[in-house]
Amino acid sequence: MSLIRSCIYIACSSASIFLFSSPLSLAQAPPPAPVEVSTVVVETLERPVSFVGAVEPDKRSVIASEVEGIIESFPAKEGQYVNKGDVLAEFNTRTIEIALDQARAGKREAQARYGMAVKNLARFEELQQKGVASLQQYQDALTEKEAWGARIGQLQAQIDSSEYNLAKSKIMAPFSGYVIEEHTEIGEWVVKGGPVVEMIDTESIDINIDMPERYISRIKSGEGVSVDFDALPGMKIGGVITSVVPQAESSTRTFPVKVTVENKEGQIKSGMVSRVSFPIGGPSAVKLVPKDAIVSQNNALFVYVVNEGAAQPLPVSTGMAYEDRIEVIGPVEKGMTVVVKGNERLMPNQPVEIINGKDEKDGKLN
């Protein structure tokens, strides 16, 4: 009898909990979320063929010294980003300054002697015309004047050289980029032409690909391609073919092809492995959605499909990009309504309110 009373008590308690908790649960249900939608469309496109390529910087340079001397300051460090014109290294300039002071003093003396020689030449010229001075005296005065003129030119060349060396004693970054290797340090003697640092510019990057000869006739410079990177999952960006070398490698029968990609934000690093997709693989029917329909969470991709007024997530993977749309592979079908704005905050089965119209013909937003 005690067992029966216990069961009845539990049942009543459960009912009470349900009655009191149900209104609260309903009150906490998320309200309809305002969203914009588009439609899954199917188009026949050229299926891409992908090739693996290595990422290289647009510019790579070993910065060398134009003068020799001892490094006094070396602010450049590996991994540091420097702007064009920033000081990478600076020499001790005391010996250059001494040589410059000597040349300037010598030039002042030579100019004074040259002025005196000019006056002497004029005097001997006048005396020679009167027959008082000999021709030899006149020629000696002329030679002295020319000698001091030449000396002034020689000393000016020394001044120019010292001023140039003084200006070049500060080694400046020739372009904006990253220092990737240091070749000297403070206190070290650097010879003329010796390496100081190595720099790269990754604002745009180049991808070098070896393309088999059966495909080479189907591409040309200026065409667009799609690029993704093993180290940057979910990231697909556009690139441009900038070089097609018309000479095959004799051992592999492949042709060097270069693709250039903009990298303003610096996400792509030199040396990364990339996969470049060329639309040369033949026609194929593909399902396309706007790129904004793709949601990425926890390394997974999905789209929200609107079904009976609620948003339901469907897992997908992406394929080729086409203008502002992208191929989706997964349980989505032509004509399905997908969320393109407001999908970042949606929860599974959350009611939605569509706030835009949609063109059922081509799936583009109005």
Q: Position of tokens 């020499």?
A: 91
Quick one: pLDDT at residue 10?
Answer: 37
All CATH 2.40.30.170 domain ranges in the chain, comma separated: 49-56+201-280
Per-residue pLDDT reduced to its tens digit, 152-177? 999 999 999 999 999 999 999 999 99
Per-residue pLDDT reduced to its tens digit, 269-312? 999 999 999 988 778 889 999 999 999 988 899 999 999 999 99
pLDDT at 235 over 80: yes
Q: How far apart are CA 354 and CA 351, in angstroms?
A: 10
All CATH 2.40.50.100 domain ranges in the chain, comma separated: 61-92+169-199
Cα–Cα–Cα angle for 7, 10, 13, rounded to 5 degrees:
150
Quick one: pLDDT at residue 306?
Answer: 96
Q: 27 falls in which pLDDT band (50, 70, 90)?
A: very low
Q: Considering the chain, what is the average pLDDT of its residues? A: 87
pLDDT at 134 over 60: yes
pLDDT at 12 over 80: no
Quick one: pLDDT at residue 201?
Answer: 94
Averaged pLDDT for residues 202-207 = 94
Max CA distance (Å), the chain: 159
Quick one: pLDDT at residue 357?
Answer: 61
Quick one: pLDDT at residue 72?
Answer: 96
Averaged pLDDT for residues 121-143 = 87
Identify which has the larger pLDDT, 22 or 58.
58
All CATH 2.40.420.20 domain ranges in the chain, comma separated: 30-45+282-366
pLDDT at 91 over 90: yes
Q: 250 falls in which pLDDT band (50, 70, 90)?
A: confident
pLDDT at 14 over 80: no
- pTM beyond 0.85: the answer is no
pLDDT at 23 over 90: no
Q: Which residue intervals of 169-232 are DSSP H helices?
A: 213-216
Domain covering 94-167, topology: Helix Hairpins (1.10.287)
Q: How far apart are CA 260 and CA 242, in angstroms?
A: 6
CATH number of 49-56+201-280: 2.40.30.170
Domain covering 30-45+282-366, topology: 2.40.420
pLDDT at 52 over 70: yes
Averaged pLDDT for residues 179-191 = 96
Residue from 293, 351, 357 nearest 321 by CA: 293
Q: Kindly give the pairing relationship between strand 310-315 and strand 317-322.
A: unpaired
Quick one: pLDDT at residue 29?
Answer: 55
Domain 61-92+169-199, CATH among 3.40.50.300, 2.40.50.100, 3.40.50.11720, 3.30.70.20 = 2.40.50.100
Q: Mention every residue, 6+ apart, whose C-beta is less than 8 A from residue 116.
A: none
Quick one: pLDDT at residue 97?
Answer: 96
Q: Which of 70-74, 257-261, 310-314, 324-328 has the weakest average pLDDT?
A: 324-328
All CATH 1.10.287 domain ranges in the chain, comma separated: 94-167
Q: 30 falls in which pLDDT band (50, 70, 90)?
A: low
Most confident option among 202-211, 319-328, 351-360: 202-211
Cα–Cα–Cα angle for 221, 223, 229, rounded to 5 degrees:
105
Residue 182 and residue 78 in contact, taking contact as beta carbons nearer than 8 Å? yes
| pLDDT above 70: percentage of residues in the chain | 89
The 10 Å Cβ neighbour count of residue 21 is: 10
Quick one: pLDDT at residue 251?
Answer: 87
Per-residue pLDDT reduced to its tens digit, 54-75? 899 989 999 999 999 999 999 9
